[in-house]
Amino acid sequence: MFALILLLFLAACGLVIGAACAAIAGRVPIWLGALYLLSLIGGAIAAYITTFRYTYLANANTRFHGWPVPTVIFQRDGPGEPWLDFIGPTIVLAYPYEPPFDA
């Protein structure tokens, strides 16, 4: 999976450099514009799928929704326990987190 993503990233970089060179020269071939538009649409579809439709288990008790930045993370204490979504984006992004005060 990583190799495919890396290959697609390198192909997109080549496409952007080629489009920039053609734009600087003052001429953009039709095929390059169409390829750019197709990769833009493909990137938007890939971003939607990986953000909202991708779920994976980090371990038996931790489930992530979304990649590379998770939209929500669920954890449970053990098998058969309910999934709790108490881990918010502050922990994932390493922001300071103050747990609520238990009186």
98 domain residue, yes or no: no
99 domain residue, yes or no: no
Note whether 45 and 60 are same-domain residues: no
pTM: 0.55
34 domain residue, yes or no: yes
Note whether 20 and 39 are same-domain residues: yes
85 domain residue, yes or no: yes
102 domain residue, yes or no: no
User: Side chain identity at 59, as an amino acid letter?
Assistant: N
* Higher local confidence (pLDDT), 93 or 11: 11
Note whether 28 and 59 are same-domain residues: no
Report CA-CA distances (Å) from 44 to 19, 38, 89. 19, 10, 23
In 72-102, which positions are buried (b, 16+ CB within 10 angstroms) versus exposed (e)?
A: ebbeeeeeeeeeeeebeeeeeeeeeeeeeee
Structure tokens at 73: 């993370």
40 domain residue, yes or no: yes
Note whether 65 and 41 are same-domain residues: no
Note whether 76 and 37 are same-domain residues: no
Name 57's bridge partners. 63
pLDDT at 3: 85
> Which range marks the domain in which residue 86 is found?
55-92
Structure tokens at 49: 């799928």
Structure tokens at 69: 């930045």
Name 64's bridge partners. 56, 73
The Cα–Cα gap between 72 and 63 comes to 9
Band the pLDDT of 69: cuts 50, 70, 90.
confident
pLDDT at 86: 61
DSSP annotation of 53: S
Number of structural domains, the chain? 2
Mean pLDDT score of the chain:
79
23 domain residue, yes or no: yes
Note whether 6 and 48 are same-domain residues: yes
